[in-house]
Each structure stands twice: as structure tokens, then as C-alpha cells.
A and B are shown apart, each in its own frame.
Chain A
Amino acid sequence: MFKKTLACTIALAAMLAAGSAMADTKDKKIALSNNYAGNSWRQAMLKSWDKVTKPAVEAGIVAAADPFTTSENQVTEQAAQIQNLILQGYNAIVINAASPDALNGVVKQACDAGIVVVSFDGIVTEPCAWRIAVDFKAMGASEVEYLAKKMPEGGNLLEIRGLAGVFVDDEISKGINETVAKYPQFKIVGSVHGDWAQEVAQKAVAGILPSLPEVKAVVTQGGDGYGAAQAFAAAGRPTPLIIMGNRQDELQWWKEQKDANKYETMSVSIAPGVSTLAFWVAQMILDGKEVPKDLTVPFLRIDQDNLEASLATTEKGGVANVEYTAEDAAKVVAGK
């Protein structure tokens, strides 16, 4: 009896603390279906998920919030995983999808089984699912806009892209190229695929550098800026302005350069904590709240003046992050 009262008190306290989160969802189970865990961004994303959902489960806001990751970044594997989650009786499935279209079949099956599907970062296009999308195109565009302001005289650009054939890579690159077309003083003289990994980017840049004229700036997709800097240093060429992608090694390098020679740049990426935003959105939908099907996440941008603060809170080998609370989620849903 006492135990029960205690549990009720804790649940009540949690409800009050969580504000809008009602206890109506206390016996609902939410699953995270994640397609990949092999880089620092995804690791941080999973950590954030644990950090936010564990207290939520303990507080009784939801009954379970279990993360599932496929061992390889494969559509077929994730589809099978989602089918298994349907069978396990989850009420909501939060998805970071391996493909925007190729999971539509199984997502429809989940919806038909009465399951709430919320996709984020790697979104799905099936209309019955919710999408927490990142405007990757705008992210690419923002890099060039920054350069246009910073160096009005223009110059040659080197573009480092992500993984070929992936939707995110296509979108960021489109944003970059369309904006470059608006500023004729800039010219992309080379483009390589860095696969969002420093070592790959370093090799790719080192390979193309000898064939390039002077490069004024490097536009990137995140996870490749540090590798690019290393390649320029190894080739003995002057370090251009390299846009960073919020990774700790990139911020650390930027800080060193800033202290040594007042190096200036900016850094932009998506906070991996967006998984927690998706969690709260799923919880709100289960709670019966009205949530628009398409939401947009703001990007996390780091500039010259807040570099130190961001670097201090970023784990070694990690990526700059923010986690969302139920209130933050409610604000995003309300479009504020």
C-alpha cells in the first residue's frame, strides 16, 4: 500500500514537473528504431535518448521507451526490425530511417495496426507518419550566406559532400550549389565525398588538392572539417576558411587556431538531441494532442563568440548537443 502511494506521489510529481505531459500515456510503450550507430553523432543521439527517456519511464510518463538499432545501415534490416516492433505491441515507434521512401511499406503497416509513427532526422515520406525534418537545404544555404557576408570579394570554394546516394547529402549539396549560383563571385572548383568521417575526408581532400588553384573556403556537411584542415596542413597550403560541423575535434581545432591566429569561421549541424524531441512529440500524440504532421527542427549554430561555451559542454569525441524537454517540444509543435 505504502509502495503504491509512494509510486503515485512520484508519478504525480513527475506530471507536475513535466507540465503538459499527462499521465494518460503511462501504460503506453514507445520504441526507437534507429538505422545506424557508427559515428559520434549517432552515439550522442542514443545517449540523449537514454538521458531523457529513462527518467520519463521512471516517473511513469510512459511505460517503456526502448531503443533498437540495426547492426548495419540497411533498409531491409530496419524494415524487419519495425515489423518486429509492431508485433511486440508498441504504441508508438520513433524512427530515424535508413531511407525516406523504401520503408513506406512497413510504416503503412504500422499505421494500419494503430501505431503512431514519428520519424526524425532520416524521415519517411509515408503520409500517415509524422515528420520532424531538418531543412538540410537551408543548412547548406546558410553556409554560403555566411561566406558571402564574410568574404564579399568571393573566391574559390571546395565542397566536401557526405555519403553518395543518401538523401541528406543530396539536400545539403543542393542548398550549397543553389546559393553559390546566387553569388557569382564564388566558384566551386572541386567536390569530393568525405562520407561525414574525418579520415575519409582527409584522404579525399588530399587527393584532389594538387589539382586545385587557391581555395578560399571549404563548405562541408559536418564530421569532415577537421580532416580537411589536416589535409591542407599536410600539403603545405594556406589554411582556408573551413566551415565546421559541431564535432568536438573540429571545435577543438578551431579554438586552437582562434587562439593562435584569430582564425574565424562558423559551425552548423543538427543537435543529436533531436531524438528526444521526437520522443516528446510521440508522447504528445499518444496523449491525444493535436500535432501537425510536418515539423521542422532548428539547427544548432556555433559562432566565434559562443565557441568556448559550446566546446566546454561537448564531450571528447562527441558532438555539440542540446536535449529537449516536454516544454521545448510543445513550443516546436506550436511553431514558436
Chain B
Amino acid sequence: MNRRLLRQALPFISLAVVLIATFIVQPRTMSYFGLNLMLQYAVPIALATIAQMFIITVNDLDLSIGPFVGLVSCIGATLLLDNPALGIGALAVLIAAYGAVGALVHLRNLPSIVVTLGLSFVWLGIAVLILPSPGGKAPVWLKAIMSVQIPVVPFPIVAAVVIGVVVHLALMMSSYGVIARGAGGNPKALTRAGWSMLRTKIIMYMLAGFFGVLSGLSLLGLTTAGDAHVADRYTLYSIAGVILGGGEFIGGRVSPMGAVVGALTLALAGSFLIFLKISPDWQIGAQGAILIIVLALRALVTYGEQKR
């Protein structure tokens, strides 16, 4: 079998395996209601994973996406509800701030890990200032969007497909997408060809901010109330999702469809382990084991690819 194809198919195969295993352990999940319930929380994770993917495309890493999503949920549950114009303004400022971070990282040649790790505390701090203890209320329209019932196919699946396809078209098919990925692949060549690295980084960081905002709002629509700590785990989820979906940390090698599938796999793996009644002490370990198995399989495929 074509190894390149196999490599691209691996995320989808992993998802299918986890899905089938879940169906066997808990047949009740094999229904419209079951899938809807089980995959709902995968939608914000998928959006956060896409945000992380934009950053990874330009060889950086965002360790602040989790607290950022939490901050968005707090703004959504307070400012956006009481004063929509101010709320939208605040979210726009956040996206601009992401762009500024991209510029800072590029201009001062700082390691993105350090900058975003620091920022994660800034986002959390602002979130706690806005909403000192969990509360607030999700705007009605947000709740309505997230609880929409589509006939036949559950909403989370439709949402995942739409997110994957839209980003795929934009990043993998468009000409600007090639430049963006080139910024990760060979920044020097890109600069010599007359493209601005600064501009590319700012745009990619702002896209990450934009998807982070979408993630926070969709999460708020599900939880119906804000909480600064609501998405602390998303940082790791999003990185794992990108890698699980066939992305690489360097070289601009990413796959939007894969990232969405990776996020779904992670969310499902969590449910699967709960259905198996594995003790919580082992759950994180088991989730890590799933990650390692998939990555080991990929390494095996890539190894064969290089040998040829």
C-alpha cells in the first residue's frame, strides 16, 4: 500500500478503531442521541486544535490556548451578554492581541513557548478579574446554536466536517495557504522570494486567536455559564490533537482534516475509558498510551517511507 496515503489515513483509522471499540463497550452510544451527547464537547476541542494548528504551521507552539479559551468563555458570559457591542469589541481586541504576540515573537526572535506560557497566566488573570467565581450566563443565541438538532446526522459531526473542510480549503488549497505553510517549511526561502515573514506570522497568530474565540464561544454555548478554569486542559488536548492528526512540530507539515479527526479521537478516547470503568488514576496514563500507540504506528510508516 502507498505509504504516503497510509500516513494520511492513519488518523482516520485511529478514529474508526476508537469509535468501533466504544460502540462495542456501550452499544447505547450507537444512536443519534448517543453520538450527539458523546461528541458535543469535541466541537470546542476541535476548534482549539485548529487554532493550535495555525501556530504550529509557523513552527511555534501556543501554551496559552487553554486559558485563552477560558477567558473567551468568561467574556462571553458577561460582557457579550450585557453589552453585545462591547463584548464583540473585547473579543476583537483579543484577536488583535494574538497578532501582536505573533509580531513580538518574530521581531524579538523569542521562543514562542516562553511567551505563550507567560501569557497563559495573563489570560487566566484577566478571566478571574472579569468573573471572580464561575457564573454569568451564555447569550441565548449561542445556546441555541450549540443545541441545534439537525435531522439524521448529529450536529457535532456536521460541525466537525464543516470546520475541517473550510480550513482545509483555506490552508491546503489556496495560494496564500502555500505561503503560510512555507513560512514553517523554509522561512529563509520565503523571505528571499519577497514575502514578509512578519506579516505571515501576524496573520497566522490572528487566525489562531479567531479560532480560539470560536472555541470559547462554542464551549460557552454548551456549558451555559462561564468559568475561568473551564478549558485549562485544552492546551495539551490541542497540541495532542494536531500531532495525532498527522501534523509535525516543525516544517509546516499540518493537516486540518487530520487535526479535527485527532481532536475527535481524543474526546472519544476519554469516553471510551470511562465506559471501561478504568480507575481515574490510570485514565491519564491510558490516554497517553493511546497517543503513543498512534505515534509509534506513524513513526513506523514514516520510517518505511524514508527507506524507499
User: Chain A residues in contact with chain B, CB under 8 A?
Assistant: 37, 66, 68-77, 79-81, 83-89, 99-106, 108-109, 125, 164-167, 169-170
Contacts beyond the supplied A88-B26, A105-B222: 13 A-B pairs with Cβ under 8 Å: A68-B280, A69-B280, A72-B233, A76-B233, A80-B271, A86-B37, A99-B227, A99-B230, A100-B135, A104-B224, A165-B133, A165-B229, A167-B133
Residue on B nearest A79 in the bound complex, by CB = B41
Q: Of B26, B222, B277, which one neighbours A66 at CB under 8 angstroms?
A: B277
Are A166 and B133 interface neighbours, CB within 8 A?
Answer: yes
When the two chains form their complex, are residues B274 and A81 in contact, meaning their CB atoms are under 8 A apart? yes
B100 touches A (CB below 8 Å): no
Closest A residue, CB atoms, query B25: A88
B29 to A71, Cβ gap below 8 A? Answer: no
The answer, yes or no, to whether B112 is at the interface (CB within 8 Å) is: no
B37 surroundings in chain A (CB, below 8 A): 83, 86-87, 109
Q: Knowing A71-B280, A104-B224, say if A99 contacts B274 (CB, 8 Å).
A: no
> Which residue of chain A is the closest to B77 with respect to CB atoms?
A101
Name A101's contact: one of B40, B136, B143 (CB within 8 Å): B136
B225 at the A/B interface (Cβ < 8 Å)?
yes
A-B contact pairs, 21 of them (CB 8 A): A70-B280, A71-B280, A71-B283, A71-B284, A72-B232, A73-B229, A74-B229, A77-B233, A79-B223, A83-B37, A87-B29, A88-B28, A100-B134, A101-B134, A102-B134, A102-B224, A102-B230, A105-B222, A164-B128, A165-B132, A165-B229
Q: B91 in the interface, Cβ–Cβ < 8 Å?
A: no
**What is the bound-complex CA distance between A53 and B302, given in angstroms?**
52
Q: Min CB distance, B18 to chain A, in Å?
A: 14
Which of B34, B143, B219, B281 meets A76, CB within 8 Å? B219
Q: List the A side residues contacting B226 at CB < 8 Å.
A: 101-102
What separation, in Å, do the CA atoms of A175 and B61 have in the docked complex? 43
B270 within 8 A of A: yes
| B275: interface (CB < 8 Å) | yes
* A66 to B274 Cα, complex, angstroms: 12
User: Contact at A74–B267, with CB atoms within 8 Å?
Assistant: no
How many whole Å from B286's CB to the nearest CB in chain A? Answer: 9
By CB atoms of chain B within 10 A, which of A75, A104, A169 has the most?
A: A75
A298 to chain B, nearest CB (A): 24
Q: Quick check: is B204 within 8 A (CB to CB) of the other chain?
A: no
* Residues in A whose Cβ lies below 8 Å from that of B135: 100-101
Tell me the minimal C-beta distance from A13 to chain B in angstroms: 29
| B10 contacts A by Cβ under 8 Å | no
At the interface, yes or no: B228 with Cβ under 8 Å from chain A? yes
Q: Given contacts A109-B37, A165-B132, A167-B133, are A89 and B28 in contact (CB under 8 A)?
A: yes
Q: Kindly supply a per-residue 1/0 record for chain B positions 156-179, scoring 1 wherever the CB is within 8 Å of any chain A CB and 0 otherwise.
A: 000000000000000000000000
The interface centre, meaning the residue of B34, B45, B228, B280 with most chain A CB atoms within 10 A of its CB, is: B280
B29 CB contacts on chain A under 8 angstroms: 87
Nearest to A72 among chain B residues (CB) is: B233
A167 touching B134 by the CB < 8 A rule? yes
| Interface flags, B229-251, vs A, CB<8A=1, else 0 | 11111100000000000000000
Shortest Cβ distance from residue B70 to the other chain A in the assembled complex, whole angstroms: 9
Check B224–A105 contact: CB distance below 8 A.
yes
A216 to B267, CA, bound (A): 51
Set of chain B residues within 8 Å of A83, measured between Cβ atoms? 37-38, 40-41, 271
Nearest CB in chain B to that of A89: its residue = B28
User: Which one, A80, A86, A88, A165, contacts B267 given CB within 8 A?
Assistant: A80
CA distance A73 to B234 in the complex (A): 13
CB distance from A225 to the nearest CB of B (A): 24
Contacts of A85 in B (CB 8 A): 274
0/1 interface trace, chain B 19-38, chain A, CB 8 Å (1 if under) = 00000001011000010011
Chain A residues with CB below 8 A from B136, complex form: 101
A102 touches B225 (CB 8 A): yes
The answer on a CB contact under 8 Å between B233 and A74 is yes
- For residue B178, give the distance in angstroms from its CB to the closest CB of chain A: 35
Given contacts A71-B284, A87-B34, A88-B26, A104 and B132 within 8 Å (CB-CB): no
Min Cβ gap B26→A in Å is 6
Contact A76 B26 (CB under 8 A): no
CB distance from B41 to the nearest CB of A (A): 5
Smallest Cβ distance from B96 to chain A, in angstroms? 26
B278 to chain A, nearest CB (A): 10
> Nearest residue in A to B73 (C-beta to C-beta)?
A102
**Which residues does chain A contribute within 8 Å of B234, judged by CB atoms?**
76
**Residues of A with C-beta under 8 A to B219:** 76
CB distance from A167 to the nearest CB of B (A): 5
The 4 A-B pairs at the shortest CB distance, nearest first, are namely A101-B225, A102-B223, A102-B227, A69-B280
Docked-complex contact B227 and A75, CB < 8 angstroms? yes
Task: Find out whether the CB atom of A76 lies under 8 angstroms from the CB atom of B224.
Answer: no
B274 touches A165 (CB 8 A): no
How long is the Cα–Cα vector from A87 to B23 in the complex, in angstroms? Answer: 11
Contact A75 B229 (CB under 8 A): yes
B227 touches which of A37, A101, A108 (Cβ 8 Å): A101
The interface residues of chain B lying within 8 Å CB-to-CB of A108 are 224
Instruction: For the complex, give the distance between the alpha carbons of A231 and B128 in Å.
Output: 28
A106 to B277, CA, bound (A): 20
B238 to chain A, nearest CB (A): 12
Residues of A within 8 A of B227 (CB): 75, 99, 101-102
